[in-house]
Structure 1
Amino acid sequence: MNSIVPKKTNLIIISVISLTILSIFCGVSRSHPHVFIVNRIKIVFDDKGLAGFNIHWKFDEMFAGMIAGDYDKNQNGFLEKNEIVLIEKEAFSYLANYNYFTFIKIGEKPFKVKFIQNFSAILNNNKLSYKFFVPCHVTATNNFKNITVAVYDPSYYSAIFFAEKNPAALDNSEAFEVRTAIKEDESTSIYYDMINPWALFLNFRIKQ
């Protein structure tokens, strides 16, 4: 009898561990990325300071094929204006519920992305890109203003990466002193707190 007890105990322990690992694995497998996006940001200035961000997404071939199959109605390999309008309505506008995957902080204060402008979708040689402008007006002063722009899907259904080449660019920035860096945003974590999304860290002021 005494020899049977540890065997049962071991079996229970093994079963509990196995179920725990299985439940973790199932949770992770449901959330792993299905869409892959390469991200570029152009930082746009006006005469007062920061005007906003032009966002450029390039999608993986599988997602591009799905969009082409659903919205390239005449199957000519290009997207006409009416097809782009439909893509924005049915396959993009819902991202308003998720900040358009564009999470901005001015200093430490979150900035809500309530709308975007100038959406376009481009299909060329079976490659799909989205472009859109995120207005974010911050007046320049003699002191540096600090802005953080992290582009990510909180659910991690889409994995978004900065492009290896030319991930960020400046537009109309001549009147300002601008510093930029792209690195992990350690203040934010997603995917069971295992991933820190990468972000654009922007500092700017009136040129001295």
Structure 2
Amino acid sequence: MFLKNAVTRFFFWSFLVVFTAISAPVSAHPHAWIDLKTTPLFNDKGEIIGLKQLWLFDDFYSAYILQTLPKADDGLYEQKAIDELAKMNLQNLEEYKYFTVIKGGEKPLEHDAVTNYRSYVEGSRLAMEFDLPLKTPVDPKKVPVEYLVYDPIYYIEILHAKLDDAITLPKAGPCTYSLIPPSPAREQSLAAANLDRDDTAEYGFGVYFAEIVSLTCE
């Protein structure tokens, strides 16, 4: 009963509301941060069939969420509770396409619901992994492929972790990548800075602060 009630009560957006309520006063977006790792998934034909993601939530957000979860006798967080938490988060994120846009050429590609999800604690931070499969594989040798992961209202900043393995590709694969950092115009940066923590940015505003991963395949 505790687990069901806790997960229902603390699904993804509710986390963020509580996060802002207990954090120090701020007057600008974003209010939470995610370090991202991504891995494009390929089939035997060299077609892209999806995108594996790892989200590592910031320390403050992680600390608040983890204190709501039960622990086992060994002092570790109960994995069942963490798994249910990930399940509820991802169910809620489905409406927002998991904050992910994958493009073939200029056209956004349709994807299915996430698979192979899991959640765990890495150090003091909450982590969530999942695969996002495409409905139809795409050949990156024929169609340029790029992807973005971002919160449409920029409540959360999502950027690739500053690690060498933040983006990984098959070692024997035909592709390389380039990471294009966000480059919002001055007026967009000012608009974000002037948003109060209770304000909601226009849907789609977050794309101005999104990284673009562009794949080149031969």
Say whether residues 1:33 and 2:30 are aligned partners. yes
Q: Is the 8 A contact 2:118 2:128 kept in 1?
A: yes
- What letter is aligned with 2:180? K
Alignment match, 1:138: 137
Q: Is the 8 A contact 1:150 1:185 kept in 2?
A: no
How far apart, CA to CA, are the structure 2 residues paired with 1:170 and 1:183? Answer: 17
Alignment match, 1:78: 77
Alignment match, 1:162: 160
Alignment match, 1:89: 87
Deviation of residue 83 (structure 1)? 1.2
Q: Is the 8 A contact 1:54 1:133 kept in 2?
A: yes
Alignment match, 1:53: 51
Q: Pick closer, same or farther for the CA change 1:54–1:34 going to 2, 3 Å.
A: same
Deviation of residue 57 (structure 1)? 1.0
How far apart, CA to CA, are the structure 2 residues paired with 1:87 and 1:119? Answer: 11
Q: Which has the larger radius of gyration?
A: 1
Greater than 6 Å deviation, 4+ residue runs: none
- After superposition, the C-alpha distances for 1:87-138 in whole angstroms (9 at most, x for unaligned) are 0233332011111011111111112333111111111332211110011253
Alignment match, 2:15: none
- After superposition, the C-alpha distances for 1:69-90 in whole angstroms (9 at most, x for unaligned) are 223454833341x213320233
- What letter is aligned with 1:88? A
Deviation of residue 178 (structure 1)? 0.8
Count of equivalent residues = 173
| Normalised TM-score (structure 2) | 0.68
How far apart, CA to CA, are the structure 2 residues paired with 1:185 and 1:107? Answer: 19
| Normalised TM-score (structure 1) | 0.71
How far apart, CA to CA, are the structure 2 residues paired with 1:42 and 1:110? Answer: 18
- What letter is aligned with 1:170? L
Say whether residues 1:180 and 2:187 are aligned partners. no
Say whether residues 1:152 and 2:150 are aligned partners. yes
How far apart, CA to CA, are the structure 2 residues paired with 1:43 and 1:148? Answer: 10
- After superposition, the C-alpha distances for 1:147-205 in whole angstroms (9 at most, x for unaligned) are 1110100111111111122221013x62x421211104679x89575834111111324
Alignment match, 2:217: 204
Where structure 2 has 5 or more consecutive residues not aligned to the other structure, the ranges are 1-25, 193-201
- The alignment partner of 2:88 has SS state of helix
How far apart, CA to CA, are the structure 1 residues paired with 2:144 and 2:113? Answer: 22
Identity, % of aligned positions: 24
Where structure 1 has 5 or more consecutive residues not aligned to the other structure, the ranges are 1-27
- The alignment partner of 1:70 has SS state of coil
Q: Is the 8 A contact 1:78 1:124 kept in 2?
A: no
Q: Is the 8 A contact 1:103 1:151 kept in 2?
A: yes
RMSD: 2.9
